[in-house]
Structure 1
Amino acid sequence: MPRTTASRFRDGTTAILAPLVAGVTYARLLHLLVGWIFAGVVLLVYPGTYHRSLGTIVLQATATDVVLLALVALVPAARRAEGVQARLLLVPDREEDIGVEPSGSWADRRRMAAWLVGRVALGSAIGFVTVFGLTGAYGLLAGPDAARYLLSAPLVVLGYGWLVIGAGRLQLAMAERLLGPSPAERLAEAELRAERLLERNRLARELHDSIGHALTVTVLQAGAAREVGDPAFVAKALEVIEETGRRAMEDLERTLVLLRETPAGGGTAGRGTAGSGVAGSGTAGHGTATEQPGIDQLSALFDTARAAGSPVDARIDVPPGVLPGVLSRESYRIVQEGVTNALKYAPGEPVGVRIAVRDGRLELRCANRLAAPGRGGPGRVGSRKGGKGLRGIRERATLLGGEATVGAGGEGGAEWVLDVRLPLRLGA
């Protein structure tokens, strides 16, 4: 619908007058006048105005201001104070565009000095215009020709208002340019965002591994109990479902504890996370609520798979105390995902697990026959290539300095094989 002339006039009038009554305009004016007050105080202390020409006063006051402001810029905390004040009074669209960190380099101090000089200069200009403008306006309105000048008063007020608006926006642009994060701070912020994203991915992978396994076992047990109908089998299936659900709840509670105890800033350095096993254990001081399962708990995992109807032939040749805690926890999760895939895509088929230490490396192998057509699981080789679980296994192996391969194997490609090789020590 075309706009009428009246609506365009109304919109134009609003665009002109609205900034004049906005609170942000007066907050920025206050910020400008603070700089002018500083210059005024310096002017009264030195060089003073007694028996001096205007040129001498301006020259000496300017030199004194620049020297004092340069000295203030050397103080690291001055950048924090100016940044906080600019955020409060200049009201940027995004607060992070104005830094509040202390000066960390000479480049920061140079930018701080330029900001202080520019702020005082711009504030002084607006301050002088305000004072002399009000004084002149009062003289005209109080004189004999007041009626003649009264008609032009609205235009003067409008012009002064937009002068303040423009100066405030210029001050904000200066703040974002000179007080904004330095390249080092931007890099640190980018690294922090990357760490937060990595943390979320780790927690998501942890939940996928534990909860996905529990749901797979639960579905298989419930379906088998319904098909068989034997009371003893049903009772056993319910017992397995209960135990699997309890373990899943413990894993969920452990992950929630990690989420609650993550610092507000999102930093994770040195804390370790569920499923990461690289930055640290993530369990210190948290008690059993955050303890991670290790390779010594695989027998319970295999019992659950057997109860779900898939025979498991496991051979674990790992001397006690050889595996670091990180490697033990990650190995458990890798084997858990391999067994879960076997239960999901080839239910009822035998699963072979081999874990051994050879030549300073931990070798994990999980293999199962592909399900026959109509057996209940998709027997296609490509059905597992793009899953989140297999991608998580590769990520775990890479983080630990190892490698993982998955795909068809055995005689005639009749098996699905997961092979993972991990060094016992990072960098080995």
Structure 2
Amino acid sequence: MLPRLLAPLVAGATYARLLHLLVGWIFAGVVLLVYPGTYQKSLGEILAGAVWLDTVLLALVALIPAARRAEGVQARLLLVPDREEDIAVEPSRTWADRRRTAGWLIGRVVLGSVIGFATVWGLTPAFNLLTGPHGLWYLPLAPALAIGYGWLVVWAGRLQLVMAARLLGPSPAERLAEAELRAERLLERNRLARELHDSIGHALTVTVLQAGAAREVGDPAFVAKALEVIEETGRQAMEDLERTLVLLRESPAGAAGGAATEQPGVDQLPVLFDTARAAGSQVEALVDLSEGKLPGVLSRESYRIVQEGVTNALKYAPGEPISIRIGVRGGQLELRCANAMSAGGGVAARNPAAGARKGGKGLRGIRERATLLGGEATAGASQDCSGEWVLHVRLPLRLGS
């Protein structure tokens, strides 16, 4: 019990907070000596004059934007908060910030004055009891007074810390802006993760299929073609990786929209289909976008969705035909990617695990892309007993509608 009672009294944070409190008392004392002074004045007149002048001066100081920053830095150093971000070190930007700063300054001086007077009136009697000509039975009162004063300082310091968090901490608007910034950063990281998964995953799938086929076939011409596809796919993957790294580094060149950050759109789909054909799958593609060019973001996201659909087909049903349909219907862009789940004598038939889809990161990324664009995505076995796996995505042509 006694260690718990004395532990806060010997903590370094308690004395740092006491110093912070006494600074406010010293300010009040200096103002008191300058005006109204103490000569031939009653206690009420002295206190009234000091309170009035303190309030005016502190309100004027709070108008200075840098005052909030200075108080925040000092509070972080001396009040020893558990989380420094609870006390802001930004200058005042709005009138609400200035009002809160004024409230903090006035509250700090008032609380500091209370502790200052308690220091004089509390410790002085304790010292007199230890050194004065009193009986021995007075001695236990001295540590009792000292401990009482110590706990008053502890609670005053904690109250001061709460005040700092409320009045110097981020405003509700700042907290909302910070939360929105964190959400935007999280969405950006998720987007970059999807880009890496889709582009690198597609490249690795094609590379593995080409290498395996070249080893089995053994035809020099086929091997040469497979190596050419692997080289081209690897080069595209390196470009995608470089674009993503530019965004991660927040490079000014990338922000300027240079070639390093240019992402493929629907106009690059023929290259994607050629890569799939080179991997051994027949691709039948029908792209009907006669109503005009797609918006940039819709074009880029559509490419990634189709790329992931083709990658899944190559991964889970290698060698099976892939059917791609892209068109505009009812004011929506529709993307459909279908492939046979198994076929007699085909690669998928020889590999039972090839037709199993686990709904992993790729399909989840497609759904996230569709949702962010205001659309929807479905994936699964066809309901018409055709033995196909179908990915169907609908996206509004007007984003935000």
TM-score interval, normalised by the smaller of the two chains: 0.7 to 0.9
Spell out, residue by residue over 1:149-177, the C-alpha distance to the aligned partner (whole angstroms, 9 max, x if none).
88876555544433322221221122223
Q: Deviations over 1:351-389 (max 9, x none)?
A: 122233456543322221222363326466xx4473322
Q: Quote the offset at 1:390 in angstroms.
A: 1.9
CA change 1:351–1:197 in 2 (3 A) is same
More divergent stretch after superposition (86-95 vs 164-173): 164-173
Counterpart of 1:305 in structure 2 is 276
| Cα separation, 2, equivalents of 1:101 and 1:178 | 12
Does the aligned pair in 1 maintain the 2:214–2:222 contact within 8 Å?
yes
The more displaced of 291-300 and 69-78 is 69-78
1:208 matched to which residue of 2?
Answer: 197
- Indicate if the aligned counterparts of 2:22 and 2:116 stay in contact, CA closer than 8 A: yes
CA distance in structure 2 between the aligned counterparts of 1:374 and 1:311, rounded to whole angstroms: 16
Q: Report the CA distance between 1:416 and its aligned residue.
A: 1.9
Residue of structure 2 equivalent to 1:6: none
Q: Which residue of 1 aligns with 2:262?
A: 291
CA shift, 1:101, in A, is 4.1
Q: 1:369 to 1:72 in 2, by over 3 A?
A: same
Map Cα deviations across residues 337-361 of structure 1 (whole Å, 9 max, x no partner). Answer: 1101111111111112223345654
Asked if structure 2 preserves the Cα contact closer than 8 Å seen for 1:90 and 1:168, the reply is yes
Structure 2 equivalent of residue 390 of structure 1:
363
Aligned residue for 2:350, secondary structure, equals: coil
Deviation at 1:335, TM superposition (A): 0.9
Find the counterpart in structure 2 of residue 420 from structure 1.
393
Please report how far the alpha carbon of residue 251 of structure 1 lies from its aligned counterpart in structure 2 after TM superposition: 1.6
Q: Contact between 1:347 and 1:375, CA under 8 Å: does it hold in 2?
A: no
User: What SS does structure 2 have at the residue aligned with 1:354?
Assistant: strand
Quote the residue 1:127 is aligned against.
Answer: 116
Q: Which residue of 1 aligns with 2:46?
A: 57
Give the share of equivalent positions with the same residue, in percent: 77
Matches within 5 A, 1:75-90: 75-90=64-79
1:153-302 aligned within 5 A:
157-261=146-250, 283-285=254-256, 287-302=258-273
Secondary structure at 2:380's aligned position in 1? strand
> What is the match of residue 303 of structure 2?
332
Instruction: State how far apart, in whole Å, the 2-side matches of 1:331 and 1:215 are.
Output: 20
Distance, in Å, in 2 between the alignment partners of 1:54 and 1:140 is: 28
Distance in 2, Cα, partners of 1:251 & 1:21: 59
Contact 2:285 2:323 in 1 (8 A): yes
Given that residues 345 and 377 in structure 1 are in contact (C-alpha distance below 8 angstroms), is that contact kept between their aligned partners in structure 2?
no
Residues 346 and 377, structure 1, Cα contact 8 Å, conserved in 2: no
Once residues 135 and 229 of structure 2 are traced to their aligned partners in structure 1, the CA distance between those partners, rounded to angstroms, is: 96
2 CA distance for matches of 1:21 and 1:347? 72
Task: Give me the whole-angstrom Cα distance separating, in 2, the residues matched to 1:193 and 1:427.
Answer: 22
Rounded to whole Å, the distance in 2 between the matches of 1:285 and 1:181 is: 32
Q: Is the 8 A contact 1:347 1:377 kept in 2?
A: no
TM-score by length of 1: 0.80
Unaligned runs of 5+ in 2: none
> Which SS does the other structure have where 2:327 is aligned?
strand
Q: Confirm or deny: 8 A CA contact 2:126 2:141 kept in the other structure.
A: no
- Following superposition, the deviation at residue 141 of structure 1 comes to 6.5
**Aligned pair in 2 of structure 1 residues 49, 235: CA closer, same or farther (>3 Å)?**
same
Give the gaps of 5 or more residues in structure 1.
1-11, 263-270, 272-281
Q: Does 2:349 correspond to 1:374?
A: yes
Amino acid at match of 1:98: I
| Partner SS for 2:82 | coil
**Equivalent residue for 2:82, pick from 86, 90, 93:** 93
Residue 260 of structure 1: how far off its partner (Å): 1.4
Give, as a single letter, the amino acid of the residue that structure 1 aligns with 2:227: L
RMSD (Å) for aligned C-alpha atoms: 3.2
Alpha-carbon separation, structure 2, partners of 1:404 and 1:152: 78
How far apart are residue 114 of structure 1 and its match? 3.2
Secondary structure in structure 1 of the residue aligned to 2:338? strand
Shift of 1:50: 0.8
Judge conservation of contact 1:97–1:181 (CA < 8 Å) in 2.
yes
- The question of 1:66 aligning with 2:37 is answered no
Aligned-partner Cα distance in 1 for 2:131–2:255: 78
State the secondary structure of the residue aligned to 1:419.
strand
User: Which residue, 380, 384, 398 being the options, matches 1:407?
Assistant: 380
